[in-house]
Amino acid sequence: MSRRDHSVVDEIVVRALAEDLGVPAGAFAVGFDVVREALSRDVTTAGVVPRGSVFAGRIVAREAGIVCGLLAAERVFALLAGSAGVAGGIEFEALTAEGDVVGAGDAVARVSGDAAVILAGERTALNFLMVLSGIATAAARWQKAAGPGVAVFDTRKTLPGLRALTKWAVACGGAHPHRSSLWDMVLIKDNHVRLAGGLAAAVTAAREAYPELPIEAEADTVEQAAEAASAGADVVLLDNMDAATMCRAVEAVREASAGRETRCLTEASGGVTLERVPEIVATGVDRISTSALGLAPPLDFGFDEQTA
């Protein structure tokens, strides 16, 4: 995600700020055209902090992990400064880069400037850093467990509204984003198969309708895995299989797709845990997908006043 293209990040940040300030999202327009009175909605700061106060602080990791979300945090303060009519009045200095490893106590950014802007944006900025760094940290842990020969992917099980940033965090952690949404890849599951009249029929229909898109098909049995590969699926998702069944399914897919110009890949999913990764890798699968990346616990960060 390019730091020069803020549009996707800004849209998400604006919704988060609107939620925290208790104003409609429409009160904000990406590009700093924001209601100037928005900061008065932070009644604590407005009531107890003298207007014009200046604050300087550091964002500090409270546990070890992978940093992600610095761009979102930076945009929180930039958009709030614009809303207050003090655009450029906040200095945000990143001390690490997206994807860097940090330890407990490491500072990841310095923020200084108008106290009202900083205090109003503090929690929203930390929330982005916590959630996205937690995802990046989990992604790194899973990909390390799988090793270089097996790619670990996320799923579409993400917090609503955070899909784009979740995928970015997964990549920052060294794992792989799966399809972004419903439009960029065909993924045939049980309900599709029943409605299409069978697995092979579903794969064939999808190929005819969208010849330019990759097609993945879910298989619950070894026989279904072979059927999906024979029908021309690009990836066969081996769903909720034990290691022995998965081994047979991997071999069946290889045999069914032998001679094809592009080899049919296999992906383990469902019932996948970090502890099971070594035995899953040993089955010969090409990929592992898990919702544990996009739904990972947040990494803790704090915002401390800089005293020196």
Average pLDDT value for residue range 208-231? 98
88-135 pLDDT tens trace: 789 999 999 999 999 999 999 999 999 999 999 999 999 999 999 999
pTM of the predicted structure, to 2 decimals? 0.93
227 is catalytic: no
42 is catalytic: no
Please pick, among 189, 194, 260, 263, the residue that the annotation labels catalytic. Answer: 189
Confidence of residue 51 (pLDDT cuts 50, 70, 90): confident
Answer for the pair 256, 275: CB distance below 8 angstroms, yes or no.
no
Average pLDDT value for residue range 211-232? 98
The span from the CA of 179 to the CA of 197, in Å, is: 25
Please pick, among 216, 218, 220, 227, the residue that the annotation labels catalytic. Answer: 218
Please pick, among 98, 154, 239, 267, the residue that the annotation labels catalytic. Answer: 239
123 is catalytic: yes
Is the predicted pLDDT of residue 32 greater than 50, yes or no? no
**Domains in the chain: ranges and CATH:** 7-135+297-305 (3.90.1170.20), 176-289 (3.20.20.70)
Please pick, among 62, 157, 260, 263, the residue that the annotation labels catalytic. Answer: 157
Confidence of residue 29 (pLDDT cuts 50, 70, 90): low
Please pick, among 123, 194, 260, 263, the residue that the annotation labels catalytic. Answer: 123
Is the predicted pLDDT of residue 302 greater than 90, yes or no? yes
Average pLDDT value for residue range 134-154? 98
CA distances from 306 to 55, 58, 192 (A): 8, 6, 56
* Dihedral of the alpha carbons of 204, 205, 210, 215, in degrees to the nearest 10: -50
Question: How much is the pLDDT for 24?
Answer: 75
167 is catalytic: no
62 is catalytic: no
